[in-house]
Amino acid sequence: MPFDFGTLPAFILYFLTSTGLFLLAAFVYHWVTPYHELELIAQGNVAVAVSYSGAMLGLALPLASLAAHSVSLVDLGRWAAAALVTQLVVYFAVHFLLKKQLDAQIVSGNVAVGTFLGALFESLATLSVRVYAQASEAEVRHFRLHSGDHEVDLIVERDDHRVVAIEVKLAAVPQDDDLRHLHWLKDAIGDDLLDAIVVTTGSAAYRRQDGIGVVPLALLGP
């Protein structure tokens, strides 16, 4: 299909607007929270990195969907503001429930608290996969045997019933045991398995020797 250059100005306008809104929202979030996320991340604070990444994904994913479905730039800006307000409401609600101990725990490197504030890594990955699958008209499901012996976090199914299997792990490098269900599914359905990947917190995507793809959440895309 030839490229329609008539849509290029609208694409550039929406891209620049979305990027500007994202940077503005990131600045507001950074300004409102009482600690300096970027400085702490540069110092190697994992809890802050997980927390801040979760917040940024919570802003970027709605913006991506809004850019694709909004009817005007005003509509895009309105819903972008709603996404930012939601992030801040969640932050302050959690801050209140934990009786203001949250900031000290995150700055001290408490990964459990950082993960909690990051709104659950697996939920973020699921949201990302559902957005991309919807654009491809694919279905997303969770798979679990009735016996509980095997389960896979996400199954993306095409209309021809062939699937991509995805496990989500809060780790930079997955271990062999993390992938046992993917190997079982590959043996069980054979060629109907298009691919098997594990989504991680790492920084690089690669293919393991056993054929399993490793993809950081930050690099996950259609």
CATH 3.40.1350 domain position(s) in the chain: 124-219
Q: How far apart are CA 136 and CA 153, in angstroms?
A: 19
Q: Check: pTM over 0.95? Answer yes or no.
A: no
Three-class SS state of 218 = helix
**In the predicted structure, residue 201 carries a pLDDT above the cut 70:** yes
pLDDT-derived band at 195, boundaries 50, 70, 90:
very high
Q: Enter the CATH code of domain 124-219.
A: 3.40.1350
Nearest partner of 179 among 163, 161, 167, 189, judged by Cα = 167
Share of the chain above pLDDT 70, in %: 73
Share of the chain above pLDDT 90, in %: 19
CB 41, CB 49: distance < 8 Å: yes
Nearest partner of 106 among 24, 47, 19, judged by Cα = 47
DSSP H or E segment with residue 151? strand 151-157
pLDDT by residue (tens digit) across 168-189? 887 778 888 989 999 999 999 9
Q: Which two tokens stand for residue 200?
A: 């991680």
End-to-end alpha carbon distance in the chain = 19
